[in-house]
Amino acid sequence: MRKKTQRTHIGGQAVIQGVMMLSKCGMATAVRDDTGEMQTEAIRLTPPEQQAKWKRLPFVRGVVSFVSSLVLGMGALMRSSDVAFTTEEEEPSNLSKWMTEKLKVSVGEILSVISTILGVVLALALFLLLPNYLTSLIADAAPAIGGTGSIWYNLIDGGFRLVIFLCYILFTLLFKSLRETYQYHGAEHNTINCYEYGDELTVENVKKASRLHDRCGTTFIFLVLIVSILIFALVNWALAALHWVTGIGWADDIISFIVKIIFLPVVAGISYEVLRLLSKTDSVLVLPLKAPGYLLQKLTTREPDDPMIECAIAAFKKAKEMEDDPNSPERSFVTETKLSKLLETMKSRFEKRGIDASDAEWIVSLTLDIPRSALSQERIVSRKECREIVNIFDERMTGRPLWYIFGDTDFCGCKIKVDERVLIPRPETELLVRQALAALKDGDSMLDLCTGSGAIAVAVAVEAAKKKSVTIVGADISEDALEVARENARINQASVTFVKADLFDGIRGKFDLITANPPYIKSGEIASLDQEVRDFEPRIALDGGEDGLDFYRRIAERIRRYIVRGGMCIMECGEGQAQEIIRIFRETARCDFAMVVRDDAGVERIVKIGF
């Protein structure tokens, strides 16, 4: 085998039509669905160093690793089956609908639980009960072997477990689906080895890598079987020495079975430590200890094809990405699922990323075209619906604002188109619109400075047109923003004229009302804004200068030339800015009066200046 230039603790397992890779910080699974498309799931995990110290103690960590790997692996296996075997747009059965609505569980969940229980029962029967029963028959036929405390009895018992394990593996090779799973197992090993060789993770490079790996689960099971022979022999000897053996065959078998169950964690812990030590060296001196595991891997791995390798590479890269980047987003499989489960998963992952959990409700509500108030009613989300929801969810996880993703938002009952060219109108800005409508009279004219998406101008125009005749002009320095504003006026059939202007530069005439929602965030605070604002919304619409008041000063300097006698200026401002803005307008614009309007949160949000 080639010398390895780098080591990784990333491990994995084959799942149905795919591969799961497990790192310290995350679990990534790549699966081919029934259309051949590769789907990826990524779940963030708590790294060992952040867990309780006792979980990292030698031998204890082996038990913890075994249990967690079993639980995570079984979960990944079940979810992979949902992806691989789902028929597109298959109508849920009446039983499935009834169970979802009444019992709040799906048929798939019940089958998963049943199959898990059956799997555990089968494992216990094959590897504990059956060997014990066969050994008892031999012991009864050959008394010289001795009872459960003799070394020969335990060697025969352990030998049967090894033979049964080998027969079990050979039996699985008869099934095509399981042989495919072994190919995915091979892809997992090839990919990890390729990385540890220091080669680039390409299909061609992975093909050249070995299918044998020191940390394989097959090798671990073999070690468990070997260690169990020694541990169970000691335990049975101790039971006999303590006179806990009754001499009654069936009673002793039950006692032996229970004791073996109790000592399984000990066996797992010791086996883990042995495997850990063996995997740290490539010395030929330990090759005899590794050889049995390698031979078994020859049976449980097969040469994968290119699509299988692609799955393994995708899973490995995502698992490593989650380890290297704490901000790497989680992903979900696209499968038929319960609405409540989908919402719970989305909210949980949004909260971990610092995204408002209510965005999950908006995504589901808008995608399924149902009111948010109806989201508490359980239903099955089809795979087609789930795919659309997950695509939006994944994009939102990048930090891109929700309303940019959907392309529009509701503002004062108007549909306002938004994208990265304009700021997304906030709910608190609706207060400015209400104040403007109250100030406008029939025949008045209005100028909306820093109009951006045109949300304020359009909303005022639409509502004012119901009762009065007004003339509205929207101005902005950005031609890109004006394109969006004109589109919004068209969509909402609003009579608004948009002009390119740097505040009052390029504006002609005087107006009865001037509105403005200018940039008012301090330059030094831009970097500390939420990602969705800082990285996606236009800085030109956010940055208000050193103290956030630059635009208010510029408006105050020239507003007298553009506002009629008796006119009013209504502006939105940031928290804590209102009183300073009033001072600026009193000193610079010599206004006749000024007042503040608080929003629903009690913040001084709107400044009204009279002339």
Contact 110, 198 (CB under 8 A): no
Nearby residues of 230 by Cβ (< 8 Å), 6 or more positions away: none
Nearest to 334 by CA among 280, 414, 292, 393: 393
Distance CA 484, CA 481 (A): 5
- Binding-site residue set for S-adenosyl-L-methionine: 476, 517
Burial of 75 (0-12, 13-18, 19+ CB in 10 A): middle
pLDDT at 589: 94
The 3 state secondary structure assigned to 120-185 is HHHHHHHHHHHHHHHHHHHHHHCHHHCCCCCHHHHHHHHHHHHHHHHHHHHHHCCCHHHHHHHHHH
Taking alpha carbons only, the member of 554, 551, 556, 557 closest to residue 522 is 551
The pLDDT mean for the chain works out to: 90
The first and second tokens of residue 397, run together, are 């996880």
Residue type, 98: W
DSSP bridge partners of 238: none
End-to-end CA distance of the chain: 87
Give me the pLDDT at residue 260, please.
79
Mean per-residue pLDDT, 414-423: 97
- C-alpha distances in angstroms, 580 versus 315, 369, 486, 591? 55, 45, 34, 14
The CATH code for residues 411-610 is 3.40.50.150
Question: What residue type is assigned to position 377 of the chain?
Answer: Q
The greatest distance separating any two alpha carbons of the chain, rounded to the nearest whole angstrom, comes to: 118
Q: How far is CA 510 from the centre of its chain?
A: 54
Please report the pLDDT score of residue 151 as a whole number: 80
Condensed to tens digits (0 to 9), the pLDDT of residues 75-129 reads 898 889 888 876 545 555 565 555 555 555 565 667 667 877 888 888 888 888 8
Using CA atoms, how far apart are residues 474 and 215, in angstroms rounded to an integer?
67
Q: Within 10 A of 354 (CB to CB), how many other CB atoms are there?
A: 11
The 8-class DSSP code of residue 50 comes to G
Greater model confidence, 252 or 199: 199
Tokens of 109: 């969940």
* Whole-angstrom distance, CA of residue 4 vs CA of residue 1: 9
CB-neighbour burial class of residue 495 (10 A; exposed 0-12, middle 13-18, buried 19+):
middle
- List the one residue out of 177, 174, 199 whose CA is nearest residue 81: 177
Separation CA 124–CA 261 (nearest Å): 9
Pairwise pLDDT comparison (568 vs 3), residue with the higher score: 568
State the pLDDT at residue 139.
81
How many other β-carbons are positioned within 10 Å of the β-carbon of residue 56? 12
What CA–CA distance (Å, rounded) separates 367 from 288?
Answer: 59
| Whole-angstrom distance, CA of residue 274 vs CA of residue 485 | 68
**Closest by Cα among 148, 186, 136 to 297:** 186
| Residue 52, token pair as written in the block | 């309780």
For residue 21, pLDDT over 70 is answered with: yes
Nearest to 278 by CA among 188, 197, 216, 232: 216
Which two structure tokens, joined as six digits, stand for 64?
């913890």
- 416 backbone φψ class: left, alpha, beta (φ>0; ψ -120 to 50): beta
Q: Which of 374, 428, 390, 319 is nearest to 43 (CA)?
A: 319
What is the rounded CA–CA span in Å between residue 582 and residue 594? 6
The arithmetic mean of pLDDT across residues 331-352, rounded, is 89
Amino acid occupying residue 429 = T
The binding site for substrate comprises 517-520
Element (H, E) at 18: strand 18-22
Lowest mean pLDDT among 140-154, 309-323, 543-557: 140-154
Cα 536 to Cα 489, 498, 529: the distances in Å are: 24, 24, 11
Smallest CA-to-CA distance from 596 within 428, 564, 581, 515 is with 581
The DSSP string of 487-523 is: HHHHHTT---EEEE-BTTBT--S-EEEEEE----B-G
DSSP, res 74: H
Residue 2 confidence class, pLDDT cut points 50, 70, 90: confident
Q: Which residue has the tokens 């030109």?
A: 540
Which range is least confidently modeled, 5-19, 96-110, 414-428?
Answer: 96-110
Could you give the CA distance from residue 259 to residue 350 in angstroms, rounded to a whole number? 45
pLDDT band at 199 (very low <50, low <70, confident <90, very high): very high
Which of these, 32, 28, 34, lies nearest to 11 by C-alpha position? 28
CA 273 to chain centroid = 32
Most confident range (mean pLDDT) of 11-20, 105-114, 144-153 is 11-20
Task: Give the residue ranges of the annotated binding site.
Answer: 476, 517-520
Q: Which residues of 358-381 are buried (b: 16+ CB within 10 A; e: fewer)?
A: ebbbbbbeebbeeeeeebeebbbb
Model pLDDT, residue 247: 60
Report domain extents, the chain: 11-324, 337-398, 411-610
Whole-angstrom distance, CA of residue 541 vs CA of residue 506: 19
Average pLDDT over residues 219-231: 89
CB 380 within 8 A of CB 336: yes
Q: Describe the chain by its helix, strand, coil percentages, rounded to 5.
A: 55, 15, 30
Question: Alpha-carbon Rg of the chain, whole angstroms?
Answer: 34
Tens digit of pLDDT for each residue in 32-77? 988 889 999 999 998 888 888 888 888 888 888 888 888 888 889 8
List the one residue out of 352, 350, 379, 353 whose CA is nearest residue 362: 350
**Lowest mean per-residue pLDDT among 31-40, 128-137, 370-379, 584-593:** 128-137
